[in-house]
Structure 1
Amino acid sequence: ANLTSERCAECGVVSVELNELLSTSDIVTVHLVLSDRTRGLIGTDELAQMKSTAYLVNTARGPIVQETALIGALQNGTIAGAGLDVYDNEPLPPDHPLRSLDNAVLTGHTGYVMRENYVRGYSATVEDVVAWLNDCPIRLLN
């Protein structure tokens, strides 16, 4: 659902414009779909509005944040750091500048997954492959 004044009241939050959010927040997290309106939404000007002690977290889509602007902001201390699990190009190349920054935490787009979730989520897949390799496929769909 879109953010409305009624929805804000229900949740006990205050809606603010982007520039106020950027200039007052200690942590800014990005949770948007990638569209023509959101592509490049966070760039040099937006990062400059953030506190020098603030962190940017993008777990939505890489191109929402202008990558070169973010790298510059991290290198020159415009913001304190960033946490990313999405990038302009995935997988992130080994020699990518983000990889050399001490103030950037980088993960694959499954950063939320804990070991227990992997075990639970993939155990059926492993079971299916083993059964198929043993010429005894299970869970067939026809």
Structure 2
Amino acid sequence: MIEDGKKAPDFALPDDNGGEVRLSKLKGRPVVVYFYPKDDTSGCTQEAKDFSCLAGEFAAEGAEVIGISPDSPKSHQKFKSKHDLQVRLLADEQKDVATAYGVWVEKSMYGKKYMGVERSTFLIDKSGKLARSWRKVRVPGHAEEVLEAVRELKR
């Protein structure tokens, strides 16, 4: 489990456009990394739409917003196109990054236990340190709260 104030674990993952994103290359500006369980499910779709609606405001603050799930780049491409999403989506198919951030956890549904992504968001400051984290995220109002935290970084 990573802690606020510590260096954020670096990663390099494929994105929805066939490229690769390395966190350390984004140093010098705030980065919002949100982990979500699955493309095109109700909560995940709403969260991606909420971040997309505020994409211009995040950009105005100099922040990059990145969504990460275990889905493939091809799945991300379809998801992004279907909902006109304005955020970069990265594929963590091996769950290495989710594990490094402590969000690949045991979950329970209808009494059955399984491994999955715990919806979580991390705000990484321009020096590469974890400025703030949100775990077990509830989607309504979350993107707005993260945007406000990005704005507070500049104060």
Structure with greater proportional helix content: 1
Same fold per superposition (TM over 0.5):
no
Higher RCO, Cα 8 Å, sep 6+ = 2
Question: Rg larger in 1 or in 2?
Answer: 1
Structure with greater proportional strand content: 2
Normalising by structure 1, we get a TM-score of 0.28
Normalising by structure 2, we get a TM-score of 0.26
